[in-house]
Chain A
Amino acid sequence: MNSPLLTLTSGPTSPSTASMFVRHPLFRPLAALVLLLLVDLLLVPGFFHLEIKDGHLYGSLIDIANRAAPLVLAALGMTLVIATRGIDISVGAVVAISGTVAAMLIGGTMVMQDGVPEYVANTPMVWALCAAMGAALLCGAWNGLLVAGLGLQPIVATLILMVAGRGLAQLFTDGQIVTVYYKPFFFLGSGYLFGLPFSLYIVAAVFLVTALLMRKTALGLFIQAVGINPVAARLAGLKTAVLILFVYVFCSACAGLAGLMISANIKSADANNAGLLLELDAILAVTLGGTSLAGGKFSLAGSVIGALIIQTLTYTIYSIGLPPEINMVVKSVVVFLVCLSQSAEFKNMWRAFRARIKGGAA
């Protein structure tokens, strides 16, 4: 809760284009991402190699983007929730629910067609997807009602669904992993369109729609106002409760979409493991992107970059052949470094320190 009133700022400097670029809030997360990619460039041979295989692009970068897609979606939803000073830790459970519903409804039964085994969907895919998204929306509405209607603290309100949601998903499947045999469904997770993974188009579409919604309507302004000063927002005539309800529904919708993507990608629904700890990664992505958990100002693009940072890091760890024991240590160290690089205070101290060293040496 650092009020901007207290942040010490240096004097005005002439805003050249370069300095404006450096000062841009997205500069630091972006720089962190670029730095990580540079590390890959040096340590992983052929990291930037892209080739056309079976008519589509193939390579590490594509993998990262593809794998990051669900995380980006979850982070986009989480951004809005966090902007209202809330938090949603049920994202992983919603992923499990929507994936399970879709997988169970679609499933796939084998029929012989002209002597060739063919799989057809149990339920028309459109209906199944609608049902899955409907389930996700219900989850969001539930969270939203608990927070906005009942006034529960967001973390407990969503904890309820976090615990019970996965249980529900397992209840549907009897604890089994539901395998899907119906091909068109896979397109969602591992299909390609114009040479690029289909999931990227989904993410881009959701991002664009959300960004437009924030820009072209007053939603962005209202969400920030509610996050920064709910009392003032109410007195200014905002429907604070409806707004809060909306962000939780939106967050769950994003999570639901992510769930579909994940289950389509592995061609099955794993109620127990799908999206496990996704909520933590999503929150991490949002904060790495420069949005404060205290609510208010938010950056959708920042969250996307944050998610890419996380996925690149994970992928890097796999690629450079580190023993799994030290995965976590590496991850934590990188997160610390990224955080520090974003801290103005750290930069000042570092500068003072360097100046002192130089002074001592002279």
Chain B
Amino acid sequence: AKPLVIGFSQVGAESEWRTANTVSVKDAAKKDGITLKFADAQQKQENQVKAIRSFIAQRVDLIAFSPVVESGWDTVLREAKAAKIPVILTDRAVNVSDPSLYATFIGSDFVEEGRRAGRWLLERAKKTPDTVINIVELQGTVGSAPALDRKKGFEEVIAGNPKLKVLRSQTGDFTRAKGKEVMEAFLKAEGKKINVLYAHNDDMAIGAIQAIEEAGLKPGKDIVVISIDGVKGAFEAMIAGKLNVTVECSPLLGPQLMQLARDVVAGKPVPKRVVTQEGVFPAEVAAKEFPNRKY
């Protein structure tokens, strides 16, 4: 048979995580002999819509994309449906009036990641039940889905313990430089009061760890550091004892995506929601896990 053609619209290359995601998808397609039309949206929704329109014009067999934003997909997905091209969402969900506009959604659950981070902290807080624990939070880009959800999930869980207090919350734009800069300001303003740092991604955490060290404190000990994603850098930090835990958010969706794509095109029934397998990696397992990390 002639090879399957998939149009894949990626958000961009804004982080290591995203790059790993792209590589995974590309490699999986190559391995499966699937022709992949790849389009990079450079973090803009309108570019994604344009890319999807051009996929429709090229009559690909299936469209997959990681939406930049949840909302605003009705029209173009309708066009895809009219052209009888099935759609798979990866990594982030969309908000559409008619769920039949897409075949399935595969990806992690950001709210759940936030919850996992919160739960880990709850566990740890149990060891010192009487002390107040002051938390500072480094948010992702204001308004972005992961930032909103990771904040929401975390808050949801820590509400269960009145001793846990978020002192400060500021955006670090998901970058190392900003993470460091904001953490410096936190340290000057709150000083020794800070017990825990919760960062919405590893990069900000790595930046903030440097700020903590430069302030003469020990990250991982004086200040407990929690972050999300589980990139290589985070594991290195954990091995060095500077990061306490990272909640995995796996970018390696490629193989699963290709399998799903083949099923969808073949008309096999697929579940509407496929959650990727993800773990929580505390520092204790970091050294053991490190060799297995692909990204």
Contacts and interface: CB of A to CB of B under 8 A. Distances in A.
Given A175-B16, A325-B142, A327-B171, A266 B177 contact: yes
Contact of A63 (B18, B142, B168, B184): B184
Interface of B: 12-16, 18-19, 22, 139, 142, 168-171, 173-177, 180-182, 184-186, 188-189, 191, 203, 206-207, 210, 214-216, 233, 236
Contact of B170 (A63, A174, A190, A318): A318
Interface string A321-352: 10111010000000000000000000000000
A323 B143 CA distance: 12
B221 to A, nearest CB: 17
B232 to A, nearest CB: 9
A190 B209 CA distance: 14
B13 A46 contact: no
Interface in A298-330: 314-315, 318-321, 323-325, 327
A268 interface: yes
A118 B168 CA distance: 37
Given A176-B19, A266-B177, A270-B176, A318 B216 contact: no
A336 B14 CA distance: 31
A266 B180 contact: yes
Interface in A161-215: 170, 174-177, 179, 190
Contacts of B15: 177, 272
A177 B16 contact: yes
B217 to A, nearest CB: 10
A44 B176 contact: no
Given A190-B210, A270-B203, A273-B177, A177 B233 contact: yes
A205 B175 CA distance: 29
Contacts of A273: 14, 173-177
Contacts of B18: 175
Contacts of B185: 60, 63, 315, 318-319
A139 interface: no
A265 interface: yes
Nearest to B168: A321
A324 B142 contact: yes
State the 4 A-B residue pairs at the shortest beta-carbon distance, nearest first.
Answer: A175-B19, A318-B185, A324-B171, A273-B175
Contacts of A170: 13
A265 B191 CA distance: 21
Given A266-B177, A268-B233, 16 more contacts: A47-B188, A58-B216, A63-B188, A175-B19, A176-B16, A262-B177, A266-B207, A270-B177, A270-B203, A273-B176, A315-B185, A318-B181, A318-B185, A321-B168, A325-B142, A327-B142
A321 B173 CA distance: 16
B169 A67 contact: no
Nearest to A311: B181
A273 B173 CA distance: 9
Nearest to A267: B210
A270 B210 contact: no
Contacts of A44: 189
A109 to B, nearest CB: 14
